Amino acid sequence: MSIFDRIFAASAVKTAMVERENALPGRDTLMPLREKNLVTGQSMRGEPDAAGGFGPTGTGDWGPDLESVVLAGGCFWGVEEIFWQQPGVYTTAVGYAGGYTPNPTYEEVCTAQTGHTESVLVVFDPDQTSLKHLIEVFFTSHDPTQEMRQGNDVGTQYRSAVYGFDDEATRLAVETAERYGPTLGAAGYGPITTEVLSLAEAGDGHFYYAEDVHQQYLFTNPNGYRCHVSTGLTFPA
């Protein structure tokens, strides 16, 4: 087999979604996580529930004044950096969503055998910003037409996704994609491939926090890798 055949074969495996029954087994233990976001100074987990856990989706209670969404647009280092800079964002955290392996490690996700996306939890104050605005920022800060990749980052972990916490978030994400699609098409891009689901319906329904070394990575490593494969296109008025 030539080197080109090997590269093609490896890429084919990385871009094929693993079946649930074939996913890596994972573990029951939650990933250790520092308490505070290094940029915002706020909690990354929220408050535990009455049983001391973090709810059916893996995130805590943010109280009645905050809302949240999980966004996946390629390497989560750069995506998190974009959103912690947005006015009205309370906190962010990177993790894994849309897959089947419980509490995966970064190395496991990179095998494409967990089914997860590299995702960012964005918690925001709806009195200072809106989910509509944040989803528009999301679509314009990556290329939502690149299925199972962003630029040279190839694999199921890099697929584009919006995972909302309620039906309204899902509806809004679908409407936003439909509104942005013609702009992309007119510029020669293909259809939007973004996966839009409620988090509860995505994979096993969990957001799993990534290792501390990945949290706010570009704050502690300001010259680190960024993958912003933006189309450069804005939303229609």
- Catalytic residue annotation: 75
Burial of 225 (0-12, 13-18, 19+ CB in 10 A): exposed
Strands 207-209 and 67-72: unpaired
Burial of 222 (0-12, 13-18, 19+ CB in 10 A): exposed
Distance CA 58, CA 43 (A): 14
Question: By the 8 A CB rule, do 60 and 45 touch?
Answer: yes
